[in-house]
Amino acid sequence: MNDARSVLDVLRQSVSAEVVDAIESLIATAPDRKLNRVNVLAFAAERGLDEEQAIAGFLHASRLGLFEFSWNVLCPGCGGVLDAGASLKHVRDEVYTCALCAAGYEPSLDEMVEVTFTVSPNVRRIEAHYPHQLPPAEYFRQIYWGSGVDLPEENYEAMIDEFIVEALELPAGDKAVISLQIAESFIIVFEPVTHVAQFIEVKGEPTKDRQTLSLVFDRSYRHSETLVMRPGALRIALDNHTDVRTLPSVCVANDVLHDVLGKRRPFLTAKRILSNQTFRDIHRTDTLDVDQRFKIASLTFLFTDLRGSTELYERVGDLAAFDLVRAHFRALSEIVASETGAVVKTIGDAVMASFPAPERAIAAAIRMRDAMRGLNRERGKEDMILKIGIHEGPCIAVSLNERQDYFGQTVNIASRVQHLAASNEIFTTDAVLGDPRASDLLAELGLKPQRQNVGLRGISRDIGVFVIQ
């Protein structure tokens, strides 16, 4: 911990003292499970911290080696972790299948990939660093379920016992048998390490004959049809073909299980972290491989440009103009970061930024316009005239020119909308204003967007365009 304290002193140079104190306390005093796959949003809520500052704290802490990143592919149904790795580069499958839910999902970055942080073994060794030594109940809590499943802190094992009627640890290459009496119910034989599952519907007249079932655990298992069995004795033969310990469990799909799977809490999504300025500053080129493409169902893009920047260079000279443009970039970048967004790239005197939610882009745009007016007042000249366009919709996250970027029609429309703007105008679309939080923000500020009857070059479908003056 002494080495960790010296690193924490370094962390204080870039992160608020309140966040660093909370991280230091977590490392020193929290139980092991609290240091595995930390849900940063829950961490911030429990301690009354600002979410963005907490996210920045863990990002910088991971850069300094206090924590390790984990990008976890989640099942939208049960919240289970289907795959995990140190970066998005490991997410390669076109479809991820959850045996427990008997469903397949194409990975998207909105709610299907979470980012969590686990304390480094060099800082403190915890149980989760040795997952194949965890007892079944803790394996489910610390490894199988994602950080968005809101599990109780108290009486957790008692709750688990209400739907897991049998569980055992099966060493690599071993065989075992589970014998039990089954009543009318829906039973799931589930193994969380290999994600093998077998559904059993128990119904009909009880039988005195012993029923049998054989299950093999390996990495190539595919879900089979639901079996129908009668109440009575059941013998389950288990065969572990993997090179690790497995944890076959017999679960009853009762109300307790459904309640566990239904209780969710917010978590840090891949979409949000990719639109975080601190993350982009720290991990500039190590997010995606050039051949990877990830869908995002909803992301908001903001484009800016300086009106008459060429004339500005001609009027005030290259050096003075460069200083003005640099001050403009600095102001815009700070505003984007403070509104939970990130600068994707600059193109000449233009900025492309992304935001996880429309209202944050609207707030940033209004602040940008005010900032440029402030710069102009300081100079006594109207040199910095900003044009802003905003649009929200689906896109694809890609790696382009050694930089994490975005591609798709949503990006094109946002750029086209910006070109419609004139002096200090903010142009946006009905997709942005359709978000209740965005419209509420404008109402609070007393701003009433005015619809413009214009078309967008190269865009065939009808898009509502509005100006915020």
Q: Which residues contact 8 (CB under 8 A, 6 or more apart)?
A: 20, 23, 24, 66
Residue stretches of the chain with pLDDT short of 70: 1-2, 221-223, 284-286, 308-314, 460
Model confidence over 14-29: pLDDT tens digits?
999 999 999 999 999 9
Helix or strand run (H / E) with residue 404: strand 403-407
Task: Give me the architecture of the 285-468 domain, per CATH.
Answer: 2-Layer Sandwich (3.30)
> Are the beta carbons of 353 and 336 closer than 8 angstroms?
yes
Give the whole-angstrom CA distance, residue 426 versus residue 223. Answer: 52
Greatest alpha-carbon span in the chain: 97
Give the whole-angstrom CA distance, residue 27 versus residue 21. Answer: 10
Terminal Cα distance for the chain, rounded:
55
Instruction: CATH 3.30.70.1230 in the chain: give the residue spans.
Output: 285-468
Return phi, psi of residue 12, to 5°. Answer: -65, -15
Q: Which residues contact 161 (CB under 8 A, 6 or more apart)?
A: none
What pLDDT score does 284 carry?
67
> Are the beta carbons of 230 and 204 closer than 8 angstroms?
yes
What pLDDT score does 323 carry?
78
CB atoms within 10 A of CB 262: 12
Give the whole-angstrom CA distance, residue 358 versus residue 364. Answer: 10
Structure tokens at 98: 């959850």
Model confidence over 343-389: pLDDT tens digits?
999 988 899 999 999 999 999 999 999 998 888 888 777 777 899 99
For residue 96, CA distances in Å to 93, 140, 156, 195 come to: 6, 19, 28, 11
Q: Which residues contact 467 (CB under 8 A, 6 or more apart)?
A: 421, 425, 426, 427, 449, 450, 452
Mean pLDDT taken over the chain: 91
What pLDDT score does 285 carry?
62
Model confidence over 167-194: pLDDT tens digits?
999 999 999 999 999 999 999 999 999 9
What pLDDT score does 310 carry?
64
Give the whole-angstrom CA distance, residue 236 versus residue 250. Answer: 10
Q: Which three-class secondary structure state does DSSP give residue 231?
A: coil
Give the whole-angstrom CA distance, residue 51 versus residue 340. Answer: 10
